[in-house]
Structure 1
Amino acid sequence: MNTLSYKTVSANKATVDKQWVVVDAEGQTLGRFSSKVAILLRGKHKPGFTPHVDCGDNVIVINAEKITLSGNKLDEKTYIRHTGYPGGQRSLTAKVMQQKNPALLVEKAVKGMLPKNKLGAELFRNLNVFVGAEHTHGAQKPKTVNLNDLK
């Protein structure tokens, strides 16, 4: 009997092909940029994507200080945290956060787009954000990816 047989292949930690990629944040909008970086971290751009496995790439973001926000978000968007003490709620605007630590702005946006579980925490460790065009991962020989070509 001549029949076609298709098997669903599920990736695991041993069979996954992880790569190092560099993306440039210069001139990109924060939200659109972060969603594409989250797709790279998750591995959804690969044909062998498996939802419960870290099958994404290690992503290096450069020029984090040159990212833009659309509209009035630079002045109106607030980031709220709590110290843990009574009356310890603190807030920062996006403009202040960009001046203090522009890498944190990108990290918070990408982290919010990852799963809220152990897998999301593991995926977030694969993100490296740098201020400026230089990064410290030259030994990994990362390839440059143009996010405009990705979906």
Structure 2
Amino acid sequence: MEVYTIDAKDKKLGRLASRLAVLLMGKNLRNYKKNIVSDVAVAVINASKMDVGIKKIETKKYSHFSGYPGGLRKESMGKVIKDKGNAELIRKAVRSMLPNNRLRSDMLKKLKISE
């Protein structure tokens, strides 16, 4: 198993997440197949030192719909940071950049984030 270590210090959230998604999918490998989870692991260090703008922290909203009437829940980025830390921001961003199929949960298990 190949392990990539990425330093998140002074990096923007979106650029970091897109790089992590490519590594988790294995698109940088010669033997890439989209129906197989690649044999790589990605570790992110210094997640708390990531560069996130103050305006984005105040205005960005994450939404989740339960499927029931009145079941739309919205949560601000600031609340996510306060409750769960910057690691959850990275996890949410990478999750949305991975393909929405049965392999996504297996790919996310190979992502380790440390504050």
Q: TM (normalized to structure 1)?
A: 0.67
* Bigger mean CA offset, 27-36 vs 95-104: 95-104
Q: What is the CA–CA distance in structure 1 between the aligned matches of 2:29 and 2:17, rounded to whole Å?
A: 18
Q: In the TM superposition, what whole-angstrom CA distance separates every residue of 1:60-86 from its partner, at most 9, and x where no partner exists?
A: 111212222357322111012346775
Are the equivalent residues in 2 in contact too, given 1:40–1:56 (CA < 8 A)?
A: no
The offset of 1:38, in angstroms, is 0.5
Could you tell me which amino acid in structure 2 is paired with residue 64 of structure 1?
Answer: A
Aligned match of 1:57: 40
Unpaired runs of at least 5, structure 1: 1-17, 132-151
Tell me how far 1:92 sits from its aligned partner: 1.8
Letter in 2 for 1:35: S
Q: 2:52, 2:6 → 1: CA distance?
A: 18
Number of aligned residue pairs: 114
Tell whether the 8 Å contact from 1:65 to 1:98 is kept in structure 2 after alignment: no
For 2:96, the equivalent position in structure 1 comes to: 112
Which structure has greater helix proportion?
A: 2
What displacement does 1:109 show? 0.2
Task: Give me the whole-angstrom Cα distance separating, in 2, the residues matched to 1:73 and 1:56.
Answer: 34
Identity %: 32
CA distance in 2, matches of 1:71, 1:42: 31
C-alpha spacing 1:73/1:100, structure 2 compared with 1 (3 Å) = same
Q: Quote the residue 1:121 is aligned against.
A: 105
2:11 equivalent in structure 1 = 28
Q: Please list the CA deviations of residues 92-151 of structure 1 after superposition, one character each: whole Å capped at 9, or x if unmatched.
A: 2112212222211110000111111111121111111121xxxxxxxxxxxxxxxxxxxx
Counterpart residue number, 1:67: 50
Task: Give 3-state SS (helix, strand or coil) of 2:97's partner.
Answer: coil
Q: 1:43 to 1:87 in 2, by over 3 A?
A: same
Question: Which structure 2 residues correspond to residues 1-151 of structure 1 after superposition, within 5 A?
Answer: 18-70=1-53, 72-82=55-65, 87-101=70-84, 102-131=86-115
- Where does structure 2 lack aligned partners over 5 or more consecutive residues? none
Tell me the distance in 1 between the aligned counterparts of 2:53 and 2:95: 20
C-alpha RMSD of the superposition:
2.0
The 8 Å contact of residues 44 and 56 in structure 1, kept in 2 or not, is answered as: no
Larger radius of gyration: 1
Higher strand share: 2
